[in-house]
Amino acid sequence: MKEITCKLLVIGAGPGGYVCAIRAGQLGVDTVIVEMAKPGGTCLNIGCIPSKAIIHAADDFAKTVAMAAGRNAMGIKADNPAIDLAKTMAWKDGITGRLTMGVSSLLKKAGVKIVVGRAKFRDGKTVAVETETGEQVIRAENIVIATGSAPVELPMLPFGGKVISSTGALSLTEVPERLAVVGAGYIGLELGLAFAKLGSKVTIVEALDRILPLYDTQLTQPVARRLAALGVEVLLGTKVKGPSSNGEALLAETGSGEERRIAADRILVTVGRKPVTEGWGREELELDMDGRFLRIDEQCRTSMRGIYAIGDVTGEPMLAHRAMAQGEMVAEIISGKRRSWDKRAIPAVCFTDPEIVSVGMSPDEAKAAGREIKIGQFPFSANGRAMTLSAEEGFVRVVARADNHLVLGIQGVGAGISELSAAFGIAVEMGARLEDIAGTIHAHPTQSEAFAESALKALGHALHV
């Protein structure tokens, strides 16, 4: 094949990679993107989007079951609810298919050349791509590594057969009667809750002594209560040992040394994700590492001139929207614009039931940093819109400096609270003070009023509590 030359080569068409390529194309940068699977990467095809589709379907099914059982306070009734998971998965696949085609169209619209295949560095300016029709060599002035991450596999529970990753869980065509989930982080709890609502008997095994360790216990308590209400057994401080000899159970050991045999038709392993730092020729380069991640500076530059890295391969937080923001910034830098990177205002969202959002510093983090703080917290049980949605569990909390009321962080837990993440992020990004939030007129009746009320509470004069 004829060698391709370009100003920018992006390796990986996940959220960070395709956004980088699109923005570069918009800015007139001659850009090529290489992807060995479908555009959109893990997030669009086997992660964020399909999991949220399944979570939504599970929520709707659970509501229908409650109606059939006469547990609906609004008087709505339904008969004989059932779930056809194969049809649900087909619906989910239709959504991801539309989005994948949309990404491809946007890349083409921006003038980006797409090469399908596996890329491998030859040197800091040259990449060889294994395509269906042979090897394609690409030479580029600048290269962006956006190879993403992959599920962590446990030695005693290798993927295969009954042992599945989140990818496998999002491809099931039948609801497992008994599901064991290893790991009580956000992926395990999101999917565990969804399958519990679909009818599985779910048991969650976690080696640590708490669920969702990245969030403070005040935020996770409503989720723990919901797990209990759904009949999900959560075994904390418990280590997995492997499958039973007949493969019909997961063997575990509690902190007190008690052996547990957890009957399971499927074992879902969700103990985290690891950066994809192998398989693309890193050994041909001289890249500094930061633990298991590629080391980057505030402009996503690696230790080699002309090579950038973005997204999960560069470290925490491993979030699609972080990768997108990095990708957009790098494209603008390569086009000649001045940009820098600051991760303080990145929202972290956990799509459990109820949902959790956190932006900026938590109260404990602010105190650990030596800050004197004010905290305002407003419950959804005092919010009219939350009542009409039968979603009174949870609250909004704002953390601000005590001296000048600068907002340091905002957290919340509640049904649909992910939709408030942008408002929380803007407040931190723009350097809002408590008075700015309290003085902004929030529409009534909406759940966003809890945001204003939390600021008022911190100022000492909440109106509705």
Could you read off the pLDDT of 15-24 as tens digits, one per residue?
A: 999 999 999 9
What's the rounded mean pLDDT across residues 337-360? Answer: 93
Q: Measured between alpha carbons, how far is residue 253 from residues 23, 236, 351, 431 in Å? A: 50, 10, 29, 48
Residue 197 lies in a domain: yes
Task: Give the active site residue among 56, 321, 442, 444.
Answer: 444
Share of the chain above pLDDT 90, in %: 94
What's the rounded mean pLDDT across residues 149-172? Answer: 96
The residue to which tokens 């407003």 are assigned: 378
- pLDDT digits 0-9 by tens, 213-247: 999 999 999 999 999 999 999 999 999 999 998 88
Taking the mean position of all CA atoms in its chain, how far away is CA 186? 8
Residue 318 lies in a domain: yes
Identify the domain boundary among 303, 334, 365.
334
Q: Which of 142, 275, 216 is nearest to 412 (CA)?
A: 216
Residue 20 lies in a domain: yes
On whether both 361 and 327 belong to a single domain, the answer is no
pLDDT recorded at residue 35: 97
DSSP 391: -
Dihedral-angle region of residue 161 (phi above 0 means left; psi in -120 to 50 means alpha; beta otherwise): left
**How does the average pLDDT of the chain come out, rounded?**
96
d(CA 275, CA 311): 9
d(CA 418, CA 355): 7
Report how many domains make up the chain.
Answer: 3
CB atoms within 10 A of CB 177: 12
On whether both 397 and 256 belong to a single domain, the answer is no
d(CA 392, CA 416): 11
- DSSP H or E segment with residue 96: helix 85-109
Domain holding 402, by residue range, is: 348-459
Q: Which CATH number is 365's domain given?
A: 3.30.390.30
Residue 340 lies in a domain: no
Dihedral-angle region of residue 373 (phi above 0 means left; psi in -120 to 50 means alpha; beta otherwise): beta
Residue 423 lies in a domain: yes
d(CA 174, CA 86): 7
Q: Assess whether pLDDT exceeds 80 at residue 341.
A: no
DSSP helix/strand/coil, 331:
helix
On whether both 128 and 221 belong to a single domain, the answer is no
Residue 74 lies in a domain: no
On whether both 179 and 251 belong to a single domain, the answer is yes
- pLDDT digits 0-9 by tens, 387-400: 999 999 999 999 99
**Rg of the chain, C-alpha, whole Å:** 24
pLDDT recorded at residue 398: 98
On whether both 120 and 204 belong to a single domain, the answer is no
d(CA 455, CA 450): 9
What's the rounded mean pLDDT across residues 205-212? Answer: 97
Confidence of residue 188 (pLDDT cuts 50, 70, 90): very high
Identify the domain boundary among 312, 334, 356.
334
Confidence of residue 342 (pLDDT cuts 50, 70, 90): confident
Please state the φ and ψ torsions of residue 315, each to the nearest 5 degrees.
Answer: 120, -175
d(CA 453, CA 401): 17
Q: Measured between alpha carbons, how far is residue 360 from residues 127, 275, 465 in Å? A: 38, 24, 25
**How many residues does this entry show for the chain?**
465
Residue 56 lies in a domain: no
On whether both 228 and 168 belong to a single domain, the answer is yes
On whether both 138 and 280 belong to a single domain, the answer is yes
On whether both 243 and 376 belong to a single domain, the answer is no
Q: Assess whether pLDDT exceeds 80 at residue 162.
A: yes
Q: Based on the number of CB atoms within 10 Å of its own CB, is 79 exposed (0-12), middle (13-18) or buried (19 or more)?
A: exposed
Identify the domain boundary among 221, 242, 271.
271
On whether both 242 and 177 belong to a single domain, the answer is yes
Residue 444 annotated to the active site: yes
- Name beta bridge partners: 267: 163, 180
On whether both 320 and 244 belong to a single domain, the answer is no
Q: Which CATH number is 110's domain given?
A: 3.50.50.60
426-446: buried (b, 16+ CB within 10 Å) or exposed (e) per residue?
ebbeeebbbeebbeeebeeee
pLDDT recorded at residue 1: 77
CB atoms within 10 A of CB 463: 12
Are the C-beta atoms of 328 and 23 separated by less than 8 Å?
Answer: yes
On whether both 183 and 251 belong to a single domain, the answer is yes
Q: Pull the structure tokens for residue 24.
A: 């570069």
DSSP 90: H
On whether both 278 and 381 belong to a single domain, the answer is no
pTM listed for this prediction: 0.95
Dihedral-angle region of residue 158 (phi above 0 means left; psi in -120 to 50 means alpha; beta otherwise): beta
d(CA 454, CA 462): 7
Q: Pull the structure tokens for residue 319.
A: 């979030």
Residue 390 lies in a domain: yes
Query: What is the arrangement of strands in the sheet containing 249-253, beginning at the earlier edge strand?
Result: 239-243, 249-253, 259-263
What interhelical angle do 85-109 and 48-68 show, nearest 10? Answer: 150
